[in-house]
Copies of this chain bind each other. A is one copy, B any other.
């Protein structure tokens, strides 16, 4: 094993410049999904790169931009899936870039370009890792490898869930490596084991066909703002407990391992107080209780719009009121189920007149990998060897990413986050870059995962 890892490392050190050159070519091709700029050209380039590195690739049409899939069989039946994307964020404001965003430039040991980190550099580091694992195994991959390269990640991946559903056989795999892995500000590698789902919904109520004068009608006309406020407080008690019947039915509590991992995370209370100016926290949470609270699903008011909002006073009875909410859901809550229960609750409480509408992009299932999964142990063991730092595990992050679109349909496969990121990489901002050392370490780490993946139980 030590020998194979040495081969991986020397292979990558020797060929690093070549992979960086390929990354530069890929970054030089703009592919701004928000602006529909260069998407076809870039997807063709990704097909070409995958094929060149021995992964038979094809571009698949979707309702939006094409998804590229590349695959190579290995000695083992087991297959490892990689999720990446070839689209990038807009590069504006251009004037804040030291060198132009689509003219990739090496400077101070890093490659600067839009996409150098997110996610073209990360993609190329994985290609390098796969090549290295092949080299360390006599020219044959030890396990099957499938790359899925999305063209719409930066605009919320509107097509990917449907694409996965329609290509389950193509994507069949035993574990996945998601994008956006790397090291924390102290240089420690690690991964999150899950993320929460989200169900975004707008509540609307109309009590009158037109706003009315509060002097004339304040004592008899129904006020939409009052109606909405009463509907809102029916959803959650002052103790933050959500009052929708059945809301918590499917919510998984943290496992003993999760609790242990949460307790091991740093106490960030002081940092949060400083950053957000919060004087107190919900339910009087303190210290590491804040870490543990991520397993509490939430009902968040994002905004309320009703009536007069300008300067001074306008003595008006609002005819209409709306509130936007998001419910952050923990494993195994289901946004469809929560929406149904919300509707039933409002009806039962006499708020049948409060209508619900669900927007795009905020209807995401939670996902969770067990901290005891052997795949996690493999990622941790190999990372500690490469980075020479302890590996951290975050049982659940508060936010939501569409990992569920793969993990669930593919049979609940374990997922890790591993890659080229470090804390100051300027992803989404001017002077985005990837450090060459991070590129190399990510490839060394992932090469070891590919190498060891076939031997997992």
Task: Point out residues on A near B: beta carbons under 8 Å.
Answer: 196, 198, 200, 202, 207-210, 212-223, 225-226, 229-230, 232-233, 236, 238, 272, 276-282, 285, 290, 293-294, 296, 298, 300-309, 312-319, 321, 323-324, 326, 328, 359-362, 397-400
What are the 9 closest A-B residue pairs judged by CB atoms, nearest first?
Answer: A215-B399, A303-B307, A209-B277, A225-B301, A200-B313, A218-B298, A303-B308, A313-B362, A305-B309
Select which of B212, B222, B397 is within 8 A of A282 by beta carbon. B222
Provided the pairs A220-B281, A229-B233, A276-B208 are in contact, do residues A302 and B312 lie with their beta carbons within 8 angstroms?
no
Contact across chains for A210 and B276 when beta carbons are under 8 A apart:
yes
Select which of B213, B272, B309, B323 is within 8 A of A303 by beta carbon. B309
Contact across chains for A215 and B200 when beta carbons are under 8 A apart:
no
Select which of B218, B282, B313 is within 8 A of A219 by beta carbon. B282
Contact across chains for B217 and A359 when beta carbons are under 8 A apart:
no
Once the chains are docked, how many angstroms separate the CA of A93 from the CA of B173? 71
Chain B residues near A238: list those with CB within 8 A: 230
Give, as a whole number of angstroms, the nearest-CB distance from A311 to chain B.
Answer: 8
Chain B residues near A294: list those with CB within 8 A: 219
Chain B residues near A272: list those with CB within 8 A: 217, 220-221
Query: Would you list 10 pairs from A and B whose C-beta atoms are within 8 A, ordered by A residue?
Result: A215-B398, A220-B281, A220-B285, A221-B281, A222-B280, A230-B233, A302-B315, A303-B307, A303-B308, A312-B361
Provided the pairs A230-B233, A301-B307 are in contact, do residues A399 and B216 lie with their beta carbons within 8 angstroms?
yes
- A280 to B, closest residue via Cβ: B222
Chain B residues near A220: list those with CB within 8 A: 272, 281-282, 285, 290, 293
Contact across chains for B313 and A225 when beta carbons are under 8 A apart:
no
Contact across chains for A313 and B324 when beta carbons are under 8 A apart:
yes
Chain B residues near A312: list those with CB within 8 A: 359-362
Contact across chains for B321 and A398 when beta carbons are under 8 A apart:
no
Give, as a whole number of angstroms, the nearest-CB distance from A11 to chain B.
Answer: 39
Contact across chains for B293 and A328 when beta carbons are under 8 A apart:
no
Contact across chains for B314 and A221 when beta carbons are under 8 A apart:
no
Contact across chains for B278 and A208 when beta carbons are under 8 A apart:
yes
Contact across chains for A302 and B316 when beta carbons are under 8 A apart:
yes
Contact across chains for A313 and B326 when beta carbons are under 8 A apart:
yes
Give, as a whole number of angstroms, the nearest-CB distance from A322 to chain B.
Answer: 8
Contact across chains for A308 and B318 when beta carbons are under 8 A apart:
no
Contact across chains for B232 and A229 when beta carbons are under 8 A apart:
yes
Once the chains are docked, how many angstroms separate the CA of A293 from the CA of B217? 10
Contact across chains for B303 and A314 when beta carbons are under 8 A apart:
yes
Give, as a whole number of angstroms, the nearest-CB distance from A239 to chain B.
Answer: 11
Once the chains are docked, how many angstroms separate the CA of A217 from the CA of B300? 10
Provided the pairs A209-B276, A222-B278 are in contact, do residues A306 and B307 lie with their beta carbons within 8 angstroms?
no
Contact across chains for B313 and A361 when beta carbons are under 8 A apart:
yes
Once the chains are docked, how many angstroms separate the CA of A280 from the CA of B217? 13
Chain B residues near A276: list those with CB within 8 A: 208-210, 212, 217, 221, 319
Give, as a whole number of angstroms, the nearest-CB distance from A323 to chain B.
Answer: 8
- A358 to B, closest residue via Cβ: B313
Contact across chains for B215 and A226 when beta carbons are under 8 A apart:
no
Once the chains are docked, how many angstroms separate the CA of A328 from the CA of B319? 18
Most buried by B among A196, A220, A272, A278: A220
Once the chains are docked, how many angstroms separate the CA of A296 from the CA of B136? 85
Once the chains are docked, how many angstroms separate the CA of A293 from the CA of B216? 11
Contact across chains for A215 and B313 when beta carbons are under 8 A apart:
no
Give, as a whole number of angstroms, the nearest-CB distance from A232 to chain B.
Answer: 5
Once the chains are docked, how many angstroms separate the CA of A309 from the CA of B303? 6
Contact across chains for A218 and B328 when beta carbons are under 8 A apart:
yes
Contact across chains for B307 and A277 when beta carbons are under 8 A apart:
no
